[in-house]
Amino acid sequence: MFNDLSSPAALLATRRSGKPRDMTAPGPDPVQLRTILSGATRTPDHGKLFPWHFHVVEDRAALLELLERAYLAEKPEAGRLEMQAVRDFATYAPTLVVAVSAPARASHIPIWEQELSAGAACMNLLSGAHAAGYVASWITGWPAYSAVVRDAFGGPDTRIAGFIFIGSPKAPLEERPRPDFDKVVHYWPAR
CATH code for the domain of 132: 3.40.109.10
Picking from 95, 89, 92, 48, the residue whose alpha carbon sits closest to that of residue 70 is: 89
Low-confidence residues of the chain: pLDDT under 50: 1-3
Residue 4 inside a domain? The answer is no
d(CA 35, CA 30): 9
Residue 164 inside a domain? The answer is yes
Q: Which domain holds residue 41?
A: 29-60+94-169
Report the run of H or E that residue 132 belongs to, with start and end.
Answer: none
Query: What type of residue sits at position 90?
Result: A
Model confidence over 104-156: pLDDT tens digits?
999 999 999 999 999 999 999 999 999 999 999 999 999 999 999 999 999 99
Count: domains in the chain: 1
Residue 134 inside a domain? The answer is yes
Residue 83 inside a domain? The answer is no
Residue 159 inside a domain? The answer is yes
d(CA 186, CA 96): 37
Give the contacts of 159 (CB within 8 A, at least 6 positions apart): 100, 101, 115, 144, 150
d(CA 100, CA 159): 6
Residue 190 inside a domain? The answer is no
Residue 182 inside a domain? The answer is no
